[in-house]
Amino acid sequence: MNIADRIQSLRKTRGISQEQLADELGVSRQAVSKWESEQSMPDIEKIIMMSNYFEVTTDYLLKGIEPQTDAMQKKASAAIFSAVGTAFNFIGLVVAIMIWEDKQTPTAVAVGFILMAIGCMIFVIGQIIGEKDSKKSSLKYFSLINTWILLLMPISWIFNFVDGTVGGFSWTFTPLPQLGNSYISYGLCWLIYFILCVAINFYIIVISRKETR
């Protein structure tokens, strides 16, 4: 990996575009593009500015050598917090469904909600104290996966309320939508859930790609 590759890698890891990096350094986007395509080399002043901005040494930018400090070694990856948070959210959903199937009580939703709240808190802690370079990617993948987990219960609540109100029968909070008026409305609920999750995932992917250009 040469200096051009290292600049591009650091920029993409930070999740910024060539134009954003150019603004930070006070140069044109074309200048950054030339650095990354090996058409030119940044001068020493810009190398120092990039080392400060990316929080790496000039030796790393020029030679690819960077000493591992104790602080860097001890700092946990944000991806670990993201994975643990996702596990809590998934377990919360599964536990809520299991309790509901067994007890048929809204307590199932409360238990699931508490576990999911813990999972989201773990993820947020990772975004605060986790390794800086891993925060962007962990946010992306946490959002992509947990969209499907976290939206299911709220959509089920809304569906049960609307379906129960329209049908004139009693409803309750459940972790999954309940068959009420008809199979059509029940299927529509699942279709809305699927479309909404796909749309959110698509938006996250598009935004992520734009930020790394």
Render pLDDT for 167-184 as a digit per residue (tens, 0 to 9).
Answer: 887 788 889 998 877 888
Instruction: Judge whether 112 and 63 are in contact, CB under 8 Å.
Output: no
Asked whether the CA dihedral 131, 136, 139, 144 is positive or negative, the reply is negative
**Arithmetic mean of pLDDT over the chain:** 88
Q: To which residue do tokens 């080399």 refer?
A: 41
Residue 197 pLDDT class (50, 70, 90 cuts):
very high
Angle at 188 between CA 184 and CA 103, to 5 degrees: 85
pLDDT at 213: 64
Residue 75 pLDDT class (50, 70, 90 cuts):
low
pLDDT at 178: 87
pLDDT in tens, 80-119: 999 999 999 999 999 999 999 888 888 888 999 999 999 9
Domain residue extents for the chain: 3-67, 74-211
Q: Quote the CA–CA distance of 157 and 147 in Å, as a whole number.
A: 16
| Identity of the amino acid at 37 | S
Q: To which residue do tokens 């067994």 refer?
A: 102
pLDDT at 74: 57
Angle at 81 between CA 78 and CA 83, to 5 degrees: 110
% of the chain with per-residue pLDDT over 90: 54
Asked whether the CA dihedral 191, 195, 198, 201 is positive or negative, the reply is negative
List of E strands, 71-188:
none
pLDDT at 67: 52
% of the chain with per-residue pLDDT over 70: 94
Topology (CATH) of 3-67: 434 Repressor (Amino-terminal Domain) (1.10.260)
Residue 150 pLDDT class (50, 70, 90 cuts):
very high
pLDDT in tens, 24-73: 999 999 999 999 998 998 999 998 999 899 888 888 888 877 655 544 44
Buried b / exposed e across 156-194, counting CB within 10 Å, b at 16+? bbebbeebbeeeeeebebbbbbeebeeeebbeebeeebe
Q: Quote the CA–CA distance of 10 and 26 in Å, as a whole number.
A: 18
pLDDT at 210: 79
Which residue, among 54, 2, 1, has the nearest Cα to 25 in the 3D structure?
A: 54
